[in-house]
Amino acid sequence: MPRPSQRVDTVALDLLIQRDDGVMSHAELQELGVPLSSVGHKCRPGGPWQRGLPGIVLAHNGRLTRRQQLVAALKYAGPDAVLTGATALETYGARSRAAASVHVLVPQTQHRSSSGFVVVERTWRLPVAVQQARLPLAPVARAVIDEARRTKGLDDVRALVAESVQRLRCDPLDLARELAAGQRRGSALARMALEEVLVGVRSSAEADARSALLAGGVRLPEWNVALYDAHGEFLGVVDGWYDDVAVALEIDSMEFHFTAADYKRTQRRQAKLASAGALVVPVAPGDVRRDRASFARLVGETLERAAGRPRPDIRRAP
């Protein structure tokens, strides 16, 4: 608490505003000698400041930026707070995860409730924060599982898990460890998605194909396999591969490629595979979802046809 005669440290106040994007807590302001009466005056209607959250003010009266929301949420939640869920994932660079709210973890013993745009979750397992862009983030695996518990649809959870593995380079075993360590409540969809990832599935489209094949009684391929021709030339990585009969399963859709260049690379890969003698089953994810039985039947028939021909000399990576 400031002394009655303490003057406002204007230099330190300016540094605080610059460092934290204009986000200030009441405690910080009082430490610098700014009385709460002055804070209230500056936050009056039409004043230069505004209240962002309980005990948090901003040194401007315009709309908060996303970073200001994050900083304000952390100051509101307390010094041990860690960003998690979609909030952390968007900071890591996930493309499919964005949220209007800010999800923070705090120690179980800290009695802080959600307020405004901040969702506060108390936990006995507060993770060691990863510092990125001067923000404390839960590790990717923890953020993924925290978000998965709050996500209702299996397809959305699949996409979340797949992107964390592919784009954010999250080790599936880290996801498994996080699931094992956390509570089971709300984790059913995450466990289903992780089971698919652990057998090699890397996208929602592949997961749909896997489910359709299981339902149709068709044996499953290996997933995401690197292939080479007889001369050792790299043919590409196929979504699904039946090695004994040299049949490739390809999820052929712009929806599941980040760019048009990715899609064109897929088409070139399929042409190389066909030239090397593989039978390629290209499938659009929408077709699998619309008629799972027809898709499974097509794959089964292709496997039977492939078994009646000499197997081409195509080799999988060990």
204-230 pLDDT, tens digit each: 888 889 999 999 999 999 999 999 998
What's the rounded mean pLDDT across residues 158-173?
Answer: 89
- Give residue 11's identity as a one-letter amino acid code: V
Residue 96 scores a pLDDT above 80: no
Q: How confident is the model at residue 184 (pLDDT cuts 50, 70, 90)?
A: confident
pLDDT one-digit tens code per residue, 109-131 = 998 999 999 999 999 999 999 99
Torsion-angle region of residue 272: left (phi > 0), alpha (psi -120 to 50) or beta? alpha
Structural domains in the chain, sorted by start: 10-63 (no CATH), 68-198 (no CATH), 204-316 (3.40.960)
Q: What is the pTM of this model?
A: 0.77
DSSP annotation of 115: B
3-state secondary structure of 134: coil
Q: How far apart are the first and last CA of the chain?
A: 66
Closest CA to 183 of 124, 130, 120: 124
β-strand partners of 234: 228
CA 193, distance to chain mean position in Å, is 13
pLDDT attached to residue 268: 82
pLDDT attached to residue 200: 85
Arithmetic mean of pLDDT over the chain: 89
pLDDT attached to residue 254: 44
pLDDT attached to residue 257: 47
Q: In angstroms, rounded to a whole number, what is the distance separating the alpha carbons of residues 270 and 280?
A: 7
3-state secondary structure of 121: strand
Q: How confident is the model at residue 4 (pLDDT cuts 50, 70, 90)?
A: low
pLDDT attached to residue 262: 66
Q: In angstroms, rounded to a whole number, what is the distance separating the alpha carbons of residues 134 and 129?
A: 11
pLDDT one-digit tens code per residue, 261-298 = 666 777 788 888 989 999 999 888 888 889 999 999 99
Cβ neighbours of residue 83 closer than 8 Å, sequence gap 6 or more: 70, 73, 74, 91, 102, 103, 104, 105, 135, 136, 137, 138, 143
Angle between helical axes of 154-166 and 140-149 (0-180°, round to 10):
170
The single residue listed with the structure tokens 């097509």 is: 298
Percentage of residues of the chain with pLDDT beyond 90: 65
Cβ neighbours of residue 219 closer than 8 Å, sequence gap 6 or more: 213, 242, 303
Q: In angstroms, rounded to a whole number, what is the distance separating the alpha carbons of residues 157 and 219?
A: 25
pLDDT attached to residue 6: 65
Residue 199 scores a pLDDT above 90: no
What's the rounded mean pLDDT across residues 177-196?
Answer: 91
pLDDT one-digit tens code per residue, 237-265 = 899 999 999 999 988 644 444 456 666 77
Residue 5 scores a pLDDT above 60: no
Q: Report in angstroms the alpha-carbon separations of 205 from 181, 186, 310.
A: 29, 23, 30
Longest CA–CA span in the chain (Å) reads: 94
Gyration radius of the chain's alpha carbons: 26
β-strand partners of 40: none
pLDDT attached to residue 265: 74
